[in-house]
Amino acid sequence: MKKNDVILAAALIGIALAAFGGAALYSQLTTKEPEAVVRLDGEEKGRYPLSEDTTVEIRQEDGSYNILRVESGKARILKASCPDKVCVSHRPISRQGESLICLPNRLAVEIENGAESGIDASVLSR
């Protein structure tokens, strides 16, 4: 190898390390805290960090309601005025993109900035 080849290789390695380090730093600076985002009729009504335990009653003008509980890094619906209570029986959510839906009350709770679920697809075999 010639002297210029060594300089070129060192420069390319330096640029690659700087780019990798910059990307890692940017990722740490822009990472937000996971939170449960509450939407009623598609309109955002509140954001609740999963790191803070809280109970929130989401009441609508017609008297219908849902009670959201954030506890131990997970969100779930404790009580609801809907007739079927599907949202109450749903498991707690904590990962990016997971959601709790109450169709009769037009409520949606979705996790934003959470950890990825790690599952892209599932195949059942018989």
Task: Evaluate whether 65 touches 58 at the Cβ level (below 8 Å).
Answer: yes
CA distance 37 to 48: 7
The answer to whether residue 119 sits within a structural domain is: no
The answer to whether residue 121 sits within a structural domain is: no
pTM, two decimals, is: 0.66
The answer to whether residue 122 sits within a structural domain is: no
With cut-offs at 50, 70 and 90, classify the pLDDT of residue 32: confident
In this structure, the answer to whether residues 50 and 97 fall within a common structural domain is: yes
Structure tokens that stand for 18 in this block: 């700087």
Query: What is the full DSSP assignment across 32-56?
Result: PPPEEEEEETTEEEEEEETTS-EEE
Counting the structural domains of the chain, the total is: 2
With cut-offs at 50, 70 and 90, classify the pLDDT of residue 14: confident
The answer to whether residue 67 sits within a structural domain is: yes
In this structure, the answer to whether residues 76 and 14 fall within a common structural domain is: no
In this structure, the answer to whether residues 46 and 6 fall within a common structural domain is: no
Q: Tell me the pairing of strands 35-40 and 65-71.
A: unpaired
pLDDT digits (tens, 9 = 90+) for 50-89: 999 999 999 999 999 999 999 999 999 999 999 999 999 9
